[in-house]
Chains A and B, each alone.
Chain A
């Protein structure tokens, strides 16, 4: 356990040692604000909720989370520190989890810094804060799933740009898994059962249902399984690629 905590601490601190953290947070806050007020018609709707705010999170994450995750392992591999890290007395799991949790905590910090909008909506009306809490939770879980995918892709290359682009593409496909763009492709080649399974993988569907204020165990399990599976894949990929 202490191995995870030590790596977590080092990683999280390293975000703030470079401009990456500040650039990310500022852009995240600016974009989420701009989307909410201009594209989401926050005022015009005349409703005291944060629906327009959360609706854009999947699309914000699509580009911002891969920007965080791309360096997770690619940088370690490029600079050779992966050899240092994995010859210290920590297990592969501690390293994978420590790094992932640090990145996740970092995004959680950025997300938490959106609190003024929560204050605003409470000042203007009386929203259902339960729904807002659930949406924050759903948003964080979705960011975690994006990150876990990014972690695995980052482990498979030493080139951060490649990691970024591949992660965006895979996340995009998973976001839209419930939509015709992706489903039509599977309809052409696979039986209905598989099409339904693919549709069930859609991030948007699961995020949407949490966002309605219903924390369904199935949606939680979906995101946690997604994170677990991609982190497991991360460990496997690192092991396979160490030799190269």
Chain B
């Protein structure tokens, strides 16, 4: 479990993290979203015990990060941004070092190292110096180090940054497989990742929490939520037909590909009505889809709205 209370970090006059309060339970994967410089990494660094908060506090697995830092660090697996590791060491030496620091001994130690190597597919590169590995492998070595002691709490700062799509998929599968009994926080720029692994998302900008909800709830805030989009053979005819549906608030046509999007009035569902209208008017439709909502649009609205407020005050 991770809990923060009014967690704040100031550098001189600049507030990087501004009184953030949240709680993550075991079994939850929390996605930290936000533009660059929003305070995601600073928050994670404080939770990991690298930076000390200016005010407020936090507990990791029940241990206060300021008064019980060693206990908190023992319960935590942390992947810093960029997955740094000691380049001159081989993968095996690096994992041995982490196991030593984590005081893993005997059979358990062997088992944990084997498990981490297997989960991240490092068998082939075990004896290679980390410096000679590709970016994807370096990232996986960092991840292996973070999960080596089977921590209750995992904090991963951009775990899939710089990986190719296959590697991204593997890391997401890994996170999902560990999600059941752990408390996990990941930060990411990729909204598709929130869908793929997170059960909850916090959007932060300028050091403040702007939204805290499940990915589906965030999508529901989108203008596109419950909208219907379609491509028709005859765009004008389709628009004409749609204009007769009572619950439609607005119709937009994409000037590039002619895709028509119909937005419902608040709280209304228009999919069935649109289908009926098209059929009765005899409009030929190539494709018809119900939009779940667009996370990127929600993200933009929320974070840019905040930036706008910031500029005014």
In B73-98, which residues have CB < 8 Å from any A CB? 73-74, 76, 78, 80-82, 84-89, 93, 97-98
Identity of the chain A residue whose Cβ is nearest the Cβ of B90 in the assembled complex: A17
Question: With the chains together, A13 CA to B89 CA distance in Å?
Answer: 9
B70 and A89: CB pair below 8 A?
A: yes
Chain B residues contacting A14 (CB-CB under 8 Å) are: 86, 88-89
Task: Mark A1-41 against chain B: 1 for CB-CB distance below 8 A, else 0.
Answer: 01100110110011001100000000000000000000000
Asked if B49 is at the interface of the complex by the 8 Å CB criterion, the answer is yes
Q: Please give me the residue from chain B that is nearest to A91 by CB atom.
A: B70
Number of interface residues of B (CB under 8 A): 30
Mark out the residues of chain B between 198 and 251 whose CB falls within 8 Å of any chain A CB in the assembled complex.
none
Q: Is the interface of A mostly helix, strand, loop or mixed?
A: helix
Complex Cα–Cα for A6 and B103 (A): 10
Of the residues A13, A81, A243, contact of B85 by C-beta under 8 Å: A81
Q: Are A10 and B45 in contact (CB under 8 A)?
A: no
Partner of A83, one of B84, B89, B98, B101: B84
- Measured between beta carbons, the chain A residues less than 8 angstroms from B103 are 2
Q: A120 interface residue, CB < 8 Å from B?
A: no
A89 CB contacts on chain B under 8 angstroms: 70, 73-74, 101-102
Q: Kindly state the separation between the CA atoms of A7 and B97 in the bound complex, as whole angstroms.
A: 8
**Are B80 and A87 touching (Cβ within 8 A)?**
yes
- Can you list 22 pairs linking A and B with CB atoms under 8 Å apart? A9-B100, A10-B86, A10-B89, A14-B88, A14-B89, A18-B88, A80-B80, A80-B84, A81-B84, A81-B86, A83-B48, A83-B50, A83-B84, A84-B84, A84-B85, A87-B73, A87-B80, A88-B98, A88-B101, A89-B70, A90-B101, A243-B11
List residues of A whose CB falls within 8 A of some B CB.
2-3, 6-7, 9-10, 13-14, 17-18, 79-81, 83-84, 86-91, 242-243
B residues bordering A, Cβ < 8 Å?
Answer: 11, 45, 48-51, 70, 73-74, 76, 78, 80-82, 84-89, 93, 97-98, 100-103, 129, 142, 145
